[in-house]
Every structure is written in structure tokens, then in C-alpha cells.
A = this chain, B = another copy of it.
Amino acid sequence: MKNIAIVGATGAVGLEMLAVLKRRHFPVGNLRLFASERSTWQRLEFAGAQIQVEALTEGSFMGVDIALFSAGAEVSKSFVPAAVSAGCVVVDNSSAFRMDKRVPLVIPEINGEDVRFHKGVIANPNCTTAIMLMALYPLHRAFGVRCIFASSYQAVSGTGTKGMEELELQLREHHYAGIPRASVYPHQIALNVLPHVDAFLASGYTREEMKMEGESRKIMNHPHFRASMTCVRVPVLRAHSIAVSALFKRSISVVAAREVLAQAPGLDIVDDPQNNQYPLPIYQAGQDNCAVGRLRVDNVWGNRGLSFWVSGDQLLKGAALNAIQIAELLL
């Protein structure tokens, strides 16, 4: 049994972490739930017990074996050192330590063995990166990826509960012929798409777009991998999709790609377009596995290129599920 702490327990990812711990029968000993002051009135149910949400302090981690952080990069930067000092192993869902060379960045199906190099912190990847790599990495192992061009269709859950609430609220306002107000996003997200996820850099790319390259390099252990990305927020509740065109070192065919992907853990092939079967975010919501489809020989690169479409639950494989899978590797 492990004593577990969830930091950010009342958020969209924190609530999924609770559900995943339960569903996967994780051997939870003592469970402590932390959130910001304004959520400490809440109690959350786990395995029949009502657990009071607590405010986080530097002393919160005494006796905790594994701390699951999902409260943003600032909270992680402030409190992860205290958790490590207290002897916890931290699985951090924020971007704070992902590119730190001393911190393993792990998708268990891809580089689970990297967990053993940890020095107290293991980082959970960016959600879009994780979902994309569930399909790209098996292809990389078989055919050697050089670069990709990809565009994302990212759900509002990536912004947390407040993103989901804003979309629902704007849809209601649209329904009642009001003018939807934007507060979480800089513009209306209902009935719109925003080519803006995370902050813009001087290069014109966003941080999110560059995470897709940087984190993919680290997770695939492939320092020369290149990615040209456009990350776009779409009015979908909780599953991300990515359209990918990948160039490989070795020649590839749809048949060969499908054989490789059929063996890939945590991935379903949904690829019968003539019968309208392809991965869709509404059907991926709530699913542990990601799905890949629309496999086709790339129209520009020919038999060295493959285009495909991958979709997965942002709160599960993109966040809570992957974090708990990392915690399982620590058992």
C-alpha cells in the first residue's frame, strides 16, 4: 500500500486521477487531497470514505509516498522541492520539470524504463504530445521518423474545468440569443476555433507547439526529430485529435503501418473510412486507449510518408491515466 497525495484534487485532472486510482485498484493506503484555499470546503469520495480537501503547505507531504501534482507549473515549482525533501516521489503533470535533464519524462508504453533514473520527480508529458506519440512512436520504432507536419484539434478540458464550463456557458448564451462572453479564452470558443494554445514565443510559434517537438524528442530519445506544428483549440469537451503527416527514413505502406500499430499497447485502430469509421473525439471521451485511423500514404512524400489522424481523451491518456500508469511503475 502506498500513501498518496493529489495536489490539484478538485480540478478536472485531479478528479480523473481519483477515478483512475479506484478503477485500476491502485493499492492506496492513506489518501490526502490538496487544492487551493477556495476549494478546501469540499469533500471528495474515495472508496467509500469522504475525504476533506486541504490547503497545501510545505509540511503537507509528511508520510506521503507518491504525490501526484496537477495544479499548474507555478504550484509545482513552489511545492515539488518540499515534497521531494519529505521523501515523496512526485509525478508532476505540469510543464515545470519536463525538459529538465535530471527528470524523466515518461509515457509508460514508450519509455517506462526511464522511470528508474528518477531523483524524486517524474514528469508527465503535455497532453497533445502524449496522445500523438501513442501512434507516432510505434511507427518511429519500425520506420524511423525524421519529421512531422501536424495540426491539432484540442478540447477545452486542456484548460481545466474552467475551459469546459466556459464552453458550456457560451453554448447556453448562444442558445438564448445572447452574446457569449469570453473570460477563460481571449475570444469566444463556442462555434469558433482558436489557433492559440499556451503563450506565443518571439518565433511566432506557441509554447504548446514547441512542446510537441521538444517533449517528443525527449520521450522518443530522438534528438534530431523535427516538428512543424499548429495547435488549435476547438469547441470539443475532452478529447484531443491530431492530424499528422510523418516522413520516415525507411519506406512505409499502409499495410506495414497497420501491422505495427495493431501491436502497439494502449492504441486502437479505427480505420474503415468507407464505413465512416475513424477516430472521433466524442467517442474517445472516457476511453483509456487512444485511437488512430485515416492511415494513408502521404501525398507529398509518397512511400516514405504516412498521414494519419489520432484522437485520445485529454484527461485520461493526456493526463490522469498516464500519471497513474507512472505511479504503477513505482510499485
Residues of A within 8 A of B (CB): 147-151, 153, 167, 171-172, 174-175, 186-188, 191-196, 200, 203-206, 209-210, 213, 226-230, 232, 234-237, 241, 243, 245, 254, 273-274, 276, 278-282, 293-301, 305, 307, 309
Q: Which of A196, A243, A279 has the most CB of B within 10 A?
A: A243
In the assembled complex, the CB of A253 is this many whole angstroms from the nearest CB of chain B, namely 11
Closest chain B residue, CB of each to CB of A174 = B171
Q: Which of B205, B281, B296 contacts A193 (CB 8 A)?
A: B281
Residue of B196, B206, B235 touching A191 (CB-CB under 8 A): B235
A241 contacts B278, CB within 8 Å?
no
Question: Which B residues lie within 8 Å of A227 (CB)?
Answer: 299-300
Query: Which of B149, B186, B294 is A245 in contact with, Cβ under 8 Å?
Result: B149
Asked whether B300 lies within 8 Å of A151 as measured between CB atoms, the reply is: no
Taking a contact as CB atoms under 8 Å apart, the answer to whether B278 and A195 are in contact is yes
Specify which of B204, B232, B309 is in contact with A195 (CB 8 Å cutoff). Answer: B309
B236 near A191 with CB under 8 A, answer yes
Q: What is the chain B residue whose CB lies nearest that of A171? A: B171
* CB-CB nearest in chain B for A185: B276
Among A147, A293, A307, max chain B CB count under 10 A is at A307
List B contacts of A191 (CB < 8 A): 167, 235-237, 282
With contacts A151-B243, A230-B309 taken as known, whether A295 is within 8 angstroms of B235 at the C-beta atoms is no
Question: Which B residues are in CB contact (< 8 Å) with A274?
Answer: 200
21 A-B pairs whose Cβ atoms sit less than 8 Å apart in the complex: A149-B245, A149-B300, A153-B193, A153-B234, A187-B280, A188-B282, A191-B236, A191-B282, A192-B236, A192-B281, A193-B241, A193-B280, A195-B279, A195-B309, A200-B273, A203-B296, A204-B294, A205-B299, A213-B299, A227-B299, A235-B235
CB pair B273–A245 under 8 Å, yes or no, is no
Question: Is there contact, CB below 8 Å, between A175 and B171?
Answer: yes
